[in-house]
Structure 1
Amino acid sequence: MKKLIALSLALMMVLGLVSIAGASPEKKTVGFYADNVDSYYVAISDVLKALAEADPEVDWEINVVTGTGSAAEQLNAVQNFIQTGYDAIAVIQNNVETTSECIQLCEDAGVPYIGLTHSFASAPNATDALAFIGYDFVQEGLYAGEDAYKWGAKKVVNIEGVLGQGTAGAQSYGFILGYTNAGADIGDWKDAQEWAAQKNSGMAGGEGLQLYWTSGGWMKDAAKTQMANIITELGPTGFDGVYAQNNPMLEGVVEAMEEAGLDTKDYWIGSGNGREISWNWVREGVTDMDVNQSALLEGEALYQILKAHFAGEEHRKYIHPYFNYYHTGNIEEIWDTLIPFTDVEAYLAKRAAGDIVYDINNTEYFKDVPEFNK
């Protein structure tokens, strides 16, 4: 009888272990809100879904809601996510003030809030968010400014995404820093920060750097129109460099210059984004530099933070994904390490092959985000 009981207990233990080993992961729901239709934003949610679907350790339902660029839509989406009972909320914001409201709503409801892409560090309750994931746009601009300074560009057309927008202003600030850090004369401006904030009309500045400010709205056609008008206004020798803050605007710039009969190789041409088209342009010398800023690394970091949070594990709170700064001098050397910009399938293939540093605990990601550490 004792032997039978012992065998029964042993069988129960084995079955229990099998049951535990075969247990399905707990289902979680994630609300993802993007402020507007943008391939960059879509790539973030697409890679998040792809990574979650490929991971047998998670069972997530991810609901993506896309706005049309209004603060009210962001607030409404977050309220709906909370009322529906979502386990976590990720947001690409419209503005900092609305984000502050959303963080408070989530805090009151006990739902973790994660912000992406655009910094909300100036919000009084920024540190109540579970995490922030976004690139260091000042550093992105700094790479361009240093490259332009070394090239010798002194009259630069600066095409911001949107004049005065946070990320655009940060890139301009970094660009000017590339000159002031090297001791370049910027005229009557007190420093790079003042110039980036106040700007100027026409081509103006100091002996070390003059800037002509305009905006392309982050779009190719608008930037092309602006560049064509500037070429007409300034003439071919009225500028020696162009900084287009993203690749769609860069495409417009290159087309406008070529249609005007200008050879881009006679000018310093730089950008940010680092999309695949730019890899080849730098390799061929059509442009001089770019910064590989893949949207997919933001989605990767979001996936890892959510997984750690749901598992009750510690994780990093403020993350700047890493850049790959490439130029005509190093493009061949780092070609294989460049990260697809929005192509999820290509990203996952490189990830599986070990060609991408994707672990947020890797030292590549250890750049601090001091503005959140208040």
Structure 2
Amino acid sequence: MLKTILVDDEELSIKRLNKILAECGEIQICNTFSNSLEAYEYIKENKIDVAFLDISMPDMDGMTFSGMLRDMDSDIDVVFITGYDEYAVKAFELNALDYLLKPVTSERLQKTLDKIKKKRRYVQKNPGLKVSFFNGFKICTAGDEGREIKLRSPKTEELFAFIVYKGTTNREEIVDTLWEGFDFDKALKNINSNIYYIRKALSVYGLEDCIKTGKKEIGIEKGRVACDLFEFERLIKESKKNSIKDAGINEKAIELYSGGFLNGKGYEWALEKARNLEKDYMELLEEAARYYAESEQPQKALAKLFKILETDSLREDVHYQIILLYMGLGKKNEARQQYLMLEKLLKEELGIRPKAKIRRLFQ
């Protein structure tokens, strides 16, 4: 059974919710409080699963209290209780699992309980989200099922992509990047609305806690988000640290780069990052080709060199290395075909001939 506490300064509201929860038979009500500070002290000493919090309380409002709970134990699910529907967006912005309008009905409460159970089942099965930046942008549930998650609009998707990319950001940076030229207050409303839509889409799979929001900062729970970009950059750093090059590290990073960073999305803020990542990818391919050539694995070296040409077909130095490898393998016809291809490309694209050292190979 789920262990819960109720925090509300209205005695009648506490009694009503207590009665409905007791009747459902799925909740163990550990304690009830009319004071947030007393509830906070209780949770310090006692493990709970769910906290039902009234938003409007005199000593400390429920939204402030929920932030303290999240800092103490991020596994606690928060359900707000309110008499005003206007708090809905704010509730989701502050990582609440759900919100209930007073007077609470058993039918509506059952939906909340179903959401809690569904989330906890998914959390057990899935470590969180799987986010892919290479060759576009895709969000899926992690684990065996891997269900794709679609967001409400292209702008909602761009906001989520930016938050995941940054790891942690703030509202001012988001406004400057995604809503430049907008009235600041209007831009903030757009941010809050889109955060609500993101959390709503994630809540279907019990993953809304993968995104964290505070008064100023917005970020992701990195421990619950698997991301190809993060792993690629980790492997790049690991590769650069090792004085003895590990081909396995390079191969893993190369495999992750399935296409350009946010390819096809047209996000201006992503352009410089895309160029830098492509440069890193090309360096990995060159390094891998050099390693395989030196360790007498010419076919693997050729495969990496051809991958470079898929991105930059005019690289004379790469064509030259391919030609030398073919000649070393005794494949003179393939070497000449490679030269003729280079000659044609340079003439059509730049109106020039291959460098003298390459031409001399066939004179």
TM-score by length of 1: 0.23
Structure number with higher helix proportion: 2
Larger radius of gyration: 2
Q: Which has the higher contact order (CA 8 A, sep 6+)?
A: 1
TM-score by length of 2: 0.24
